[in-house]
Amino acid sequence: MIETRAPGKLFVVGEYAVVEPGQPAVLVAVDRYITVRLSESRDAGRIHSSEYGQTPLVWFREADSQSIVLDHRPADYVLAAISAVEELRAEMGTPPRYFDLDISSELDDASGRKFGLGSSAAVTTATIAALDEFYALGLTRTERYKLALLATIAVSPNASGGDLAASAFGGWIRYSSPDRAALKLHREIHGVASALHCSEWVGSGVTRISPPESLHLLVGWTGSPASTEHLVQRVHTPGREKARPFESFTDESRLGVNALVAAFDEDDAIGALDRIRQARRLLQRLGDTSGSLIETEQLTALCDIAETYGAAAKPSGAGGGDCGIALSDAELPTIDILREWERHGIRRLSLTPHRPEGSIDDF
């Protein structure tokens, strides 16, 4: 039995802009996990997950031992992860084997509603880690992240990969995205092993950062799930009836991300809080100019309440529901914020940053 797990994530700043190649964002991995348990099997493979119902997904190999087929094929990140590893395994000359996966998640509530903590990224990361160990491929942590992104963009071509980086490396990170369209094309032409080390990764990267110790992270959940892919697509391809996003958005986002990182590096808590507030205003302007509901009524309440008591707050990720974050001085009593959140139907998620893991190799 092989067991791996990967943490969920929260976007701190840089949402929407990060989907453009080279644009940065700040994320933090959090201590809620998806766990993958792998065991060898014969004749067929099975994927057990509560998301798939009581009956497992059953997969078989085609004659080439590389491609896999399902009786019922959903658009699924687990299958994309398996396919990417199987392609790499075949290119490396490693013999194929069957295996079962059992997947459990802490990234949703008892009724199955997702918290918006990056479950797709976490399950992709954990699946690739388990298969790397199963096949003894010897991938570095950076190679696992890259393989996870190659798998993800086969399902969702516009995914930035920031959630995968947070899940793979843990802690607080500054992330910049590669050209995913170029990576996808490179894989199709040259194969996945070549795509792991090709020049299309230039300009992207992950670096570790640390917030001031005097700041405390609070996370509130609105209970309303949001579709990141739908919201990002709407913002980046606005219809005729609404204005295009303001042209300076990506430039302002980049400046804001770098200013927050600088505040972290300088242990400047006041400066960091100010950057969070500016990032909220930037997202509000993006919502207004693109005609997208990024900051819902409950997210507005979450942020306004936190700011009333001296914290800085903003939606996390694409908005439209899901989570908001607040950073406050560690000495500031948070009971009033939490009480007001509860009165407005906002649930506090008891999360802390997941510790950094492993080294970040050169991209």
And the tokens for 205?
A: 């990267």
pLDDT band at 48 (very low <50, low <70, confident <90, very high): confident
pLDDT(329) > 50: yes
> Can you give the length of the chain in residues?
363
Residue 210: per-residue pLDDT = 95
pLDDT of 280-325, one tens digit each?
A: 999 999 988 888 888 999 999 999 999 999 999 999 988 777 899 9
For domain 215-348, give the CATH number: 3.30.70.890
pLDDT(74) > 70: no
Residue with tokens 């509901």: 293
Q: Are 36 and 4 in contact (CB under 8 A)?
A: yes
Residue 239: per-residue pLDDT = 52
Angstrom distance (rounded) from CA 60 to CA 43: 7
Q: What is the pTM assigned to this prediction?
A: 0.89
Domain 2-209 architecture: 2-Layer Sandwich (3.30)
Q: Are 147 and 183 in contact (CB under 8 A)?
A: no
The amino acid at 299:
L
Domain ranges of the chain: 2-209, 215-348
pLDDT(235) > 80: no
